Amino acid sequence: MPGVKQVIIVRKDLDMGTGKLSAQVAHGSVSSYLEAVVKDKDIAKEWLDEGQKKIVLKVEDEDALNKLYKAFKFKHIPCALINDAGLTQLPPGTTTVLGVGPWKSDEIDMFSKGLKLL
């Protein structure tokens, strides 16, 4: 089985403070992990056993994030869009991050390899 990883993709057009950004990335990680457990518990376990490899990437805006979400869903790769509750820095419902995987690295790379690190 190819290596497994998780990717968290962040909108760089939002002016999130460090704490807000960290919380949103954590929400993306946990939510997409839960999706992966449902899809394939063996891949999720492999990811846990191998140290939980995560990569945080960035996109320009909400449109780019939504296009990636649709692409991952089309390929049946577990993922989760995170929408902020709006209690602090952002309006309610603002889409902040996309968590992808853990899943097979080569399949995630089909859509994420051109993105830059946050």
Closest by CA position to 101, among listed 72, 116, 79:
79
Of the candidates 1, 4, 2, 3, the residue with the CA atom closest to the CA atom of residue 101? 4
Structure confidence by residue, pLDDT tens digits, 97-111: 999 999 999 999 999
Range of the domain at 42: 4-117
Whole-model pTM above 0.85?
yes
> How many distinct structural domains can be found in the chain?
1
pLDDT tens for 14-73 read: 989 999 999 999 999 999 999 999 999 999 999 999 999 999 999 999 999 999 999 999
CATH code, domain with 12: 3.40.1490.10
Strands 54-59, 79-83: pairing kind: unpaired
- Asked if residue 84 lies in contact with residue 25, where contact means CB atoms within 8 angstroms, the answer is no
